[in-house]
Structure 1
Amino acid sequence: LYAALLAAAKHAIKRHEPNALSRAAHFLWSDYRLALFWWEPVELLRKLTLTGFVLLISEEHGLLRTLAALLVSLCWTAGQWALKPFKQPVDNLLAVVANLALTLIFLGVLLVKTCQVAAEACEHFGFGGSADAIFLFVLVFSLVTIVGFVAFSLRELVHRSKLIASVLRLRATGALPELRRARGITYHLFLSHVWMTGQDQVAVIKRQLQLCLPGVRVFLDVDDLADIGRLETYIDESAAVLIFLSKGYMHSRNCLREARAAMAGDKPLVLVHEADPQKGGLPMADIRDQCPADLAAFVFAERQALQWQRVSEYQRLALKLIAEHVLGACPVSNYADPLEVECRSQGLYFKGEVACADLAFARPVTLLVSDHNPGAAELAAELRAALLQATL
C-alpha cells in the first residue's frame, strides 16, 4: 500500500508540485532525500523480513534462521551507510548505529547457538565448552564497536556542521527550508539584469544563493538562456523575479520585456539596487525617473529595494532577505496546516549571524538627544526599540 501511494505521488514529489495525494502521504517521504523518497516501503520490507519471513524457515534449521537474519541486517547496514537516505545527518547516524547493534546481536546469537549445538566448535573458538564466555566476548566487542563508531560519527557531524554554517535555516525550527515548486514552475527565481552593469553582481547572487539555500533553482541568462525569444516563457516558469537595478536597466529592451512579463504574470518581485557608481550604480531617484510609466506602479509601489553590498555581513543580510522572498513564493505543503505558514513568517537565519537580540548593555543607559540635530530623535527611537535597556 505504501509503495502504491508513493508511486502515484511520484511526479508531484519529485517536481515539488504538491497535490492532495502527496500531502496526505507526506509522512511517508518527508524525512528522506528526494532521490530516495521511496525508502519507507523498503524499510518496512526489511522489518517484515527479520520479524516474519525468516520464520518460514523451519525450527529444525534455527541456525539458518539466524544466519539469514544476520546477512539481511549486515547488507542493510552497509546500504544505509552508503546511501544515507535521511535528510538529516543525525537521523542517518542513528539509523546506522541501530542497524549495527542489531547485526552484532544476530552475530552473538549465531555464535551462542553454535556453541549450544556443538561444544567442540565452541572450543575451537578458544572459549572452552561454555557459551557464557563467548557471550561476554561478543557483548564487550559490540559495546566497544558501537562506542567507537558513535565517537567517529559525532566527530564527522561536528566537522560537517562547521562547513554548513553558511546555510540558511528556518528561525522557528532550525531546519532547512523546503523549496517546493507549483505545477508549471521550473525556477524558484529569475534574475533580470542588464549585462553591462549587472552581470557580475547577479552571478554572485546566484552562486551565493545556491550555497546558502540548498536545492534552489535560479535562472541566469549565461547559464540557462537557450532562446532569447522565450524570455516571457522563462518568466512564466519562474516563481519569483529579482530585478537588479543598475545603470542602463530601464533603457534595455530585453530587461523591460522581462519586467512587463513579470507584471503580466503578477510575479512576486525582489528589487536589488546597485548604489556604487563605480560598479554601475545609479541613484534610485534616477532609476524611478527612467522607468516607463506603465511599469512604475508595479515595480516600485509599496516595495523597498535591497541595497547590494560587498561587505560580508551586509551581503549575507541581503542574501537572507532575497531567500525569504524566494521561500515566500514557494507553495506550502498543506494549505490547512498553519504551522508551516507560521514557521515561514518568522524568517530565516544564518548560524552565528549578528542579531539585535545579541546586543545588550550590562546595565540600563540613558541616551541624550539634541532637538537641534535633525534625525537624531528618530534614530534614538529606533535604537531604543532594538535595545530595551536604553532610555531617552
Structure 2
Amino acid sequence: MEVGFQPKFKILVSFYQIAATLGPVYGVRLHEDFTRWTDFMDAISLDLLGLTYPDACIGSMGDRLLLAGLWPIFSIMLGGAALACCALAEWLLSGRADALRRDLVRATLRRLLYWAILVAYLVLPSVSRSIFKARQCESFNVDDLTAERRSYLVADLDVLCSADDDEYSGLDAYFWAFFVLWPILFPLAFLALLLSIRSEVRAQRVRATARACRFLWRDYDPRFLFWEVVDLGRKLSLASLVLFIQTDTGSSKILRLFVASVVSALYLAALALARPFKRDDDLYLACTANLFLACCFTSGTVIQLCESAAYEDMCKALVGFDSARGASEFVIALTAAMLAASLLVVLFKTVSAVRMPTIRLCSSGRPPVLELSPECHFHGFISHCWGTGQDQTHTVVRQLQLLLPGVRIWLDVDNLEDVGRLEESVRDATTFLVFLSAGYFKSFNCRRELYAALGSNRPFIPIQEADVDKGGASIEALKAECREHCVETAPPAYPSYSGPGEMLARVFEATPPIVWVRVNAFQLESLKAVAMRMLLHSPYYASRPAELAGGVMVPRQPGPCAFSGPVTILVCRDNEGAVGIARALKTAAREGRGSTASAETVTIRDAEEALEGVNAAPLSGHVVCLLYLNDKTFLDAGGAVARLVQAAMDRRIAVAMVHEQDPTCGGVPFRNFFQQTPQVLLQPPYKLFDTVAVPLYPAPEHRTVSLRLALSSMGAVPCDAGPLQRRWELLRRRIAVARLVRRRPAEPCQQPVVQP
C-alpha cells in the first residue's frame, strides 16, 4: 500500500494557490496581526516571482508582464538543457553506441515532457494572476464636487486605466498574448495529451508517452481521466479569470466572493457525486479543501462587510462581529486546519503503508508494471465454486488488490452482469486463476469457464484449498473429481476438447497448484506466488524475464534469522521426524550470512543422553527442546517422548513445538494432541500447550516461513535486526525463562545460560 504523496501535494498546493488570492484578487484585507501567515500562504502558493523580486525592482509594467509570462518557459528550457547534458554524458561514458543514443534521446524527451507538465501545472495559477495585473484596476474619486472618478492599475498607480494612456494601451498586446498562451493553450495542451493516451490508460497498457504524462492522470479513476483539466479550470477561474468581473471596482465589492463561493460549492458537489480519485483518502482531502475554500470565501464576504464604511456599525448590525478581526481569525483557522489535515492524512497513510506494504521486485525494489495485453481488460479471471470457495476467493482478490495496487481481477460479485457471457469474460483476462476446492469440477459453470480458458489458451494458475475442514480437498480427490465430471464432448467454448486427460494436464501438471494457506505470513507467501505467476504471463515481463529472476518480495516480511550465541537443540529419538526438522532448522540458520553466529553454533544433541545420561556433558549456552507434533507424537511404546519433555521442563528448558500440516507426513488437526498427550503435561505446572506451536507446511515457500518462525520461537532474531531489536528479543527470552522458573518447583538442576 502506497502513501500517495502526489495527489495530497497537489490538493494542498491548489488550496493555498486559491486561498492566497483572497487579498490581491478579492480585496479581502485580513487583520494586520496575521500578515506573517499570509506571507506563508504566498510561499506555499508557489508564486516564485512575487516572492523573489518586488515589482518596483523589475522596471516598467511591460517588463514585469514579459518576465511573468516568460520565466516558466525559461525554466522548462533550462531543465531541458540539464537533461540533455546528463544524457550526453551517459552516452559518452557508454562508448557512443548508436542504439543507446536513440534510447537516450527518447528517454530525455519523455523526461522533458514530464518536467514541462510539472512546471506548467505548478505555476499556471500564479502566472495567470500576474498576467491579469495588466487589467486589474481600482477606481479613485479625484473630484468631490463633480464626483469624477479615475481608475489606475493596482500594480502600478502611475498607469491610468484608459485607452488614452499610451502605456496602458501598450499592455494590451502583452496581456492577450500571454492570456492565450497560459490560461488557454496550456490547459488545451494537457487535454490533447490526455486524449492521445486515453485508450492506453483505460486499458492499463501504459506506454512511454502515457508514463511521461502520469502527473496528470495517475491519481484518478480511468473513467475520469480528464478530471485534472476540470480541476485546472476551477483553479484558473478562482485565481485569475474572476478578475474579469467588475474590472475597476471588483476588489471592493462582494460579487467576486459570491461567485467564488458558488463555484467552490458546485465543485464540492461534483467531487462528492463523481468520486474521481482512485483512493478514498484523496477524495476526502479534496472535499475538505473545497469545503474550507467555500468557508474562506464566505468569511471574506463578512470581512468586506465589516470593512465597509457605507453605514455606521455595519459589521455589528449585519454580522454580529465588533470588527473584522473575528472573521480574519476564522479564515486563518481554516487555512491552518487545511495544512494540519493534510499532514494528518499523510501521517495516517504512512503508518498504514508500513502496516500494509505492497509487492515489489527483488531485482529493483520497485512495484511491478501491471501492463495488459491489447485484447484484455483484466489481469486475471478467478474461477471458483460458490459452495466451498466463495469466501476465500474473495480474500484472494481483495488481498491481491492491496498488495498490487492497480491489478484488475474479474470476480463474479464485482463484474458478473450476465451469466451467459462467462466465456467472453474469461477471454477478456490475461490469466485464468482456478481456486480448487471440493466440488469445483462438479459445477457446470466452473466447467464452462475451464473450457473457455482452454479454448482461448489462457495460462492456468491453480490455487488449492487444502484444508478439508474449510471446504478443501487433496490433490488426489480433486483429480478424481476432474476425471469423473470433465467428460463433455465438444463443449461450445472448446470444440476440440480431448477429454479429462487434457484438463488434468492443464490444471495439475503444467504448473503445480499453489497451496492456499489462510494464516498471516503463510497467506502472504501464497499471494506472492499467485502474483509472481500473473506477472510472468504479463506482456511487459514476457519480454523482460530478467526483471523477475529474483522473484518478488514484500518489505518487512519475515527474513532469515540467526542466533546471537551458541544454541543446543535437544531432540528425542522416539519423536519420529524431529531429527530431520532439527537439521532443517540448522540449515535455515545458515541463511543468516554476515550475522553474529553461523550454523556451526547450532548443536543437535540427543535429549535422552543430555538429560538422563550418566556421562553426559553439561549443557551450556541457550538450550531448547524440540517437539515435533504429528500423528505419532507421545504414542511411542516406552513413553520416552513424554518423559523427556517433562524432564526438560523440570530443568526449565524451553520447549519449541512445530506442528506438521502435511497429512502424508502424519499431519493431524491440533485437537488430536489433547487426546495423545499425557494429562500430566496438560495440567499445571507444565501446561505444555500454553506455548504456541509453529505450523509446518509442506510447500517450499511456506516451509521456509515455518522454519524461520520456529527459529524465532527458539530465540533467533532477524539477521537485519538492529541493536534495539536484538535487545528486545533477548529480553523476551529472559521473560520466557522467568515464567518457567515461576511455574516449576525448585530443583537442584543446572540453569540454562542465556547469551546476549
The TM-score with structure 2 as length reference comes to 0.39
* 1:135-150 aligned within 5 A: 136-145=325-334
Q: Verify the 8 A CA contact 2:306 2:314 in the aligned structure 1.
A: no
Partner of 1:292: 501
Distance 1:140 1:298, change over 3 A: same
Counterpart of 2:234, as a letter, is R
Q: Which has the larger radius of gyration?
A: 2
Deviates more, 1:17-26 or 1:289-298: 289-298
Matches within 5 A, 1:215-254: 216-218=408-410, 226-227=419-420, 231=423, 234-245=425-436
Work out the CA distance in 2 between the residues paired with 1:148 and 1:47.
Answer: 20
Tell me how far 1:87 sits from its aligned partner.
2.9
Q: Encode CA deviations 1:39-93: one digit per residue, 9 max, x unaligned.
A: 1111111122123322222213331334333433444345446655333455445
Say which of 242, 256, 281 aligns to 2:473.
281
Among candidates 372, 377, 380, match of residue 583 of structure 2: 377
The answer (yes or no) to whether the contact 1:97–1:146 under 8 Å persists in 2 is no
> Are the equivalent residues in 1 in contact too, given 2:375–2:428 (CA < 8 A)?
yes
CA contact (8 A) 2:536 2:542 kept: no
In 1, the alpha carbon distance for the partners of 2:475 and 2:548 equals 36
What secondary structure is seen at the aligned counterpart in 2 of 1:55? Answer: helix
**How far is the alpha carbon of 1:141 from its aligned partner?**
1.5
The residue number in structure 2 matching 1:46 is 234
C-alpha displacement of 1:366 = 3.5
Q: Where in structure 2 are there 5+ consecutive unaligned residues? A: 1-187, 402-406, 484-499, 574-578, 600-756
Taking CA–CA contacts closer than 8 Å with sequence separation of 6 or more, which of the two structures ends up with the larger relative contact order?
1
Partner of 1:27: 215
Indicate how the Cα distance of structure 1 residues 320 and 282 shifts in structure 2: closer, same or farther if over 3 A, else same.
same
In the alignment, which residue of structure 1 is the partner of 2:559?
Answer: 356
Aligned letter for 1:218?
A: W
Quote the Cα distance in structure 2 between the aligned partners of 1:226 and 1:243: 18
Report the residue type matching 1:65 in the other structure: R
Q: Which amino acid aligns with 2:242?
A: V
**C-alpha displacement of 1:317:** 3.9
Alignment correspondent of 1:202: 389
Change (3 A) 1:375 1:326: same
Query: Following superposition of structure 1 onto structure 2, how do residues 322-333 of structure 1 map, counting pairs within 5 Å?
Result: 322-326=530-534, 329-330=537-538
Contact 1:369–1:377 (8 Å) recurs in 2: no
Distance in 2 of aligned mates of 1:74 and 1:42 = 15
Contact 1:250 1:287 in 2 (8 A): no
Structure 1 residue 308 corresponds to structure 2 residue 527: no
291-300 or 182-191, which moves further after superposition?
291-300
Q: Give the secondary-structure state (helix, strand or coil) at the position aligned to 1:184.
A: coil
Distance 1:383 1:209 in 2: 31
Mapped contact 1:365–1:389 kept (Cα < 8 A) = no
What is aligned with 2:379? 188
Distance in 2 (CA, whole Å) between partners of 1:42 and 1:344 is 43
Is 2:358 the partner of 1:169?
yes
Q: Distance in 2 between matches of 1:7 and 1:304?
A: 44
Counting matched residue pairs gives 372
SS in 2 for 1:169: coil
Contact 2:305–2:315 (Cα < 8 Å) also in 1: no
Distance (whole Å) between structure 2 residues aligned to residue 200 and residue 253 of structure 1: 13
Question: Following the alignment from structure 2 to structure 1, what is the Cα–Cα distance between the partners of residues 317 and 443?
Answer: 85
Report matched runs for 1:153-168 at 5 Å. Answer: none
Question: 1:106 offset after TM fit, Å?
Answer: 4.0
For 1:216, give the aligned amino acid: R
Counterpart secondary structure, 1:211? helix
Counterpart residue number, 2:204: 16
Give the Cα–Cα distance (whole angstroms) in 1 for the partners of residues 349 and 286 of structure 2.
Answer: 18
Q: Percent identity?
A: 26
Q: Is the 8 A contact 1:170 1:349 kept in 2?
A: yes
Q: Give the letter for the 2:398 counterpart.
A: L
